[in-house]
Amino acid sequence: MPSDLSPIDKAKFISAKRAAQYVESGMKVGLGTGSTAAWLVKCLGEMVREEGLRIKGVPTSTRTAELARDVGIEVISLDEARWLDLTIDGADEFDGELNLIKGGGGALLQEKIVATASDQMIVIADAGKKVDTLGAFPLPIEVIPFGWQTTQALVEETLVSMDVLGRSSALRMNGETPFLTDEGNHILDLHLKRIGNARQLALVLNQMPGVVENGLFIDICDRVIIGFGDGRVEIHDIGEGRVDAEHLDLAESDNLFSDLSD
């Protein structure tokens, strides 16, 4: 186990290391975006270099594409791949039914497209991402820049009739300017506190003019791997309805990824 990492980073490392075991040579793999997914890309890069793993990666952001190339993974587009064997990504929240909130890194649109074009989706996370009810993490929605304030007002008005506790929203910023997604869109973060009916909310949001996509991933994730700082992992499998506990024995000298920052 890398000794100079924080407990959270160790947990991310563990979950990524375990998820990498599902990847086999010849696969086309969706590569997620965010700090936990970055550990996964690093792990797969090591397998490519050290074990001869042969995969084609479809990144969900320009950041992930750059990292994948840096570590030696062959990168192709989703159009080239057409369909994927597996997507591995992080999440900002997940509940007992493995429904997710994603988009904290701003790549929710590409992440959802890639995940739904895959035979299965695995989420890697630390234990802090598990919740009883989604909504504590702000729900991102991607909106086109034209008339975004009108879209924001429409969204907030619609939230009055939804089963949520909060109804405020904020334009995501990058310093003094609005954050832009890879598609050149804005993101509104909805501060809902609790989402009573995530499926209904996802459908309603996507019917609004100006909304491109929302960060609710409903019935998309097949398996969640939770890592712990002491080497333990929990594998939650929605299809089999079971939770398996394992322990990964990692050498103290296994410190290949200590240069990776959030």
Active site residues: 111
Tokens describing residue 172: 């995501």
Long-range contacts at 74-80 (CB < 8 A, ≥ 24 apart): 76/28, 78/113, 78/114, 78/117
> Which residues have a Cβ under 8 Å from the Cβ of 215 and sit 6 or more positions away?
92, 101, 102, 103, 108, 139, 140, 141
Sheet with strand 242-247: strands edge to edge: 74-75, 56-59, 28-31, 86-89, 121-126, 223-227, 232-237, 242-247
- Other Cβ atoms closer than 10 A to 126: 21
Tell me how far CA of residue 83 lies from CA of 21, 25, 137, 209, in angstroms.
20, 16, 30, 29
Residues paired with residue 178 on neighbouring β-strands, in sequence order: 173
